[in-house]
Amino acid sequence: MSELIQNLQETVAYIRSKVTAEPTIGIILGSGLGNLANEILADIEIPYKEIPHFPVSTVLGHKGRLIFGTLNGKKVLVMAGRFHYYEGYTAQQVAYPVRVMRLLGINTLLLSNAAGGVQDKMNVGDLMVITDHISLFTINPLLGPNEDSLGTRFPDMSEPYSKSLIQKVQAIAAANNIVLKQGVYLGVTGPTFETRAEYKLIYTLGGDAVGMSTVQETIVAKHCGMEVFAISVITDIGIREEENTITHEEVLQAAKDAEPKLTLLFSELVAGL
């Protein structure tokens, strides 16, 4: 048995020793977007640091715990705080919890993140449904020997983000007067925010938003057969001519301001799944 499978089995066995619930919906909350966790009637919360083989999150704004509970009547498994490549984890470690979720029975994964807007049409505070991504500027988490028991060597990526989940969220947004943008998320490693020239490059390449997370989780989720929905909160605008410095504090604040809309979308979406 490979080390990966052995580790996964130990992680899952530990979590199973604490929890009997079998949710099928998993949620990963991005920077500044952890408050959705407060809407959840938690059955049990497990700090990452107690879970064997789980990396521990260090980035500001993350509380780092796995929550099993109920959101709007549906059983869910929430990762409050995620792992980023820029923290020093490998791409495989970043995506490890997604595999754990799959082995725990999750088949639908909802992701949120804070991202920089690189289109004129974007404003701070916008929500952007991710319709597709560009992952070529990050490290692919599937590099290395393929674990055939998890998924195929060459996974199809023609629909990384489920069209049917996107349509459901668009209907919920329309019913609640929430304006949704949509676009392509381009993943980078960070931790630097982009230079003006880089934002321009990303724009030229077809990115509508840029961020330091999500693509690796999506790749691993698709590899092991999950349906994925992802949404960005636009926390800063990279492509503009005037003075343009970006701070982590401003990103967290913009994420926090947009959070009620995001919470509504996720909570209505899970109710209908």
In the complex, minimum distance from the CB of residue 107 to ligand HPA, in angstroms, rounded to a whole number: 28
Does 236 engage in binding with ligand HPA (CB under 6 A)?
yes
Does 235 engage in binding with ligand HPA (CB under 6 A)?
yes
Does 193 engage in binding with ligand HPA (CB under 6 A)?
yes
What beta strand segments (E) does the chain contain? 25-29, 41-47, 65-71, 74-80, 108-117, 127-134, 180-187, 209-211, 227-237
- 51/128 with CB nearer ligand HPA: 128
Give CA–CA dist 105/108, Å, rounded: 9
Does 246 engage in binding with ligand HPA (CB under 6 A)?
yes
Q: Which of 91, 165, 212, 215 binds ligand HPA (CB under 6 A)?
A: 212
Q: Which two tokens stand for residue 16?
A: 């199973």
Side chain identity at 29, as an amino acid letter? L
Q: Per CB under 6 A, which region of 49-57, 110-118, 153-161, 218-226 contacts ligand HPA? A: 110-118
- 193/203 with CB nearer ligand HPA: 193
- 79/172 with CB nearer ligand HPA: 79
In the complex, minimum distance from the CB of residue 175 to ligand HPA, in angstroms, rounded to a whole number: 28
Q: Which of 194, 208, 217, 259 binds ligand HPA (CB under 6 A)?
A: 194
**Residues within window 65-84 making contact with ligand HPA, judged by CB under 6 A:** none
Give CA–CA dist 153/272, Å, rounded: 33
In the complex, minimum distance from the CB of residue 238 to ligand HPA, in angstroms, rounded to a whole number: 5
Site string (18-57) toward ligand HPA, x via CB under 6 A: ----------------------------------------
Give CA–CA dist 198/201, Å, rounded: 5
Q: Write out the H or E segment, with its range, that includes residue 269.
A: helix 248-271
Exposed (0-12), middle (13-18) or buried (19+): which is 180, by Cβ within 10 Å?
middle
Give CA–CA dist 36/42, Å, rounded: 12
Give CA–CA dist 79/64, Å, rounded: 7
Residues that bind ligand HPA (CB under 6 A): 114-116, 188, 190, 193-194, 210-212, 235-236, 238, 246, 251
